[in-house]
Amino acid sequence: MFPRCCLVLNRVAGVAGSWDPTLSAVTFQCVRWRKQRTDPRAKSKMNYRRIPTPIDPWEHDFLLKKNRHYACITRAMKKMFIEEISRNTLETAEGGSTEERAQKEREEYLQMLKWNDQENARTRLIREERLTEEGRLKEENRLEKMIRMEEEKKQSLEELAERVIQEKEASKSYITLDNVDEVIERVMDNTKDFNFMISKTGDILLPEGTPWESLTARKDPDPAAEEDRPQELTQQL
């Protein structure tokens, strides 16, 4: 389009057939066209979807760790350099030598090492005493537990022995294959009639010839008690 514009302008200016613009009143400036906010989306990017850049988890963790390590080292070096510069500035201002300060720091360091050794020895004695006391208490607890377990075991054996004796005594009345015939004969000879009656007053009416001797005493009630019973009932009503 630019050559056509030049040709038209040249013809207007009276210079036909020339491609060089000679019209001084017209100025050409190449300005890149910019998309406006209200313009629609380009057709070439209509279905474009950006794919996220893949990230390796191992590489991410490695770089994160190394970056922190690098930042820590850099910060430490920066602090060391700042301290060195400030120390040199202070020495220059005070007039002291570096060797004297280094000797003083070395002596302080040796004193701190000596104090550290003394504290380690003191804490070692305290720790040994505490461990000895804990061992003694643990041994006492173990012995007490063993004694308690022995007593419980002895008590359990005694209970088992007593139960065995009771079972032996009770087994004398058990029905076995040896005495089953004898038990059957004894039961047949001592039959019991369970067909007895109980009156409204609670008296047990036993049949004749019943073997229930424990209930025979209640078979014949006291006449005086029978005479007094209705009066008592009447008084209660």
231: confidence class by pLDDT, cuts 50, 70, 90: very low
Percent of the chain beyond pLDDT 70? Answer: 69
Assess whether pLDDT exceeds 60 at residue 224. Answer: no
103: confidence class by pLDDT, cuts 50, 70, 90: confident
Average pLDDT taken over every residue of the chain: 78
- Which residue did the predictor score with more confidence, 226 or 183? 183
Per-residue pLDDT tens over the stretch 149-199: 999 999 999 999 999 999 888 888 888 888 888 888 888 887 766 677 778
pTM, entire model? 0.32
Assess whether pLDDT exceeds 80 at residue 120. Answer: yes
Span 197-221, mean pLDDT?
65
Assess whether pLDDT exceeds 50 at residue 122. Answer: yes
Span 28-53, mean pLDDT?
83
Span 215-219, mean pLDDT?
52
Span 9-18, mean pLDDT?
47
Span 54-68, mean pLDDT?
94
Span 59-63, mean pLDDT?
94
What per-residue confidence (pLDDT) applies to 171? 83
Per-residue pLDDT tens over the stretch 71-92: 999 999 999 999 988 877 777 6
Three-class SS string for the chain? CHHHHHHHHHHHHCCCCCCCCCCCCCCCCCCCCCCCCCCCCCHHHCCCCCCCCCCCHHHHHHHHHHHHHHHHHHHHHHHHHHHHHHHHHHHHHHCCCHHHHHHHHHHHHHHHHHHHHHHHHHHHHHHHHHHHHHHHHHHHHHHHHHHHHHHHHHHHHHHHHHHHHHHHHHHCCCCCCCCHHHHHHHHHHCCCCCCCEECCCCCEECCCCCCCHHHHCCCCCCHHHHHHHHHHHHHHC
Span 109-119, mean pLDDT?
95
235: confidence class by pLDDT, cuts 50, 70, 90: very low
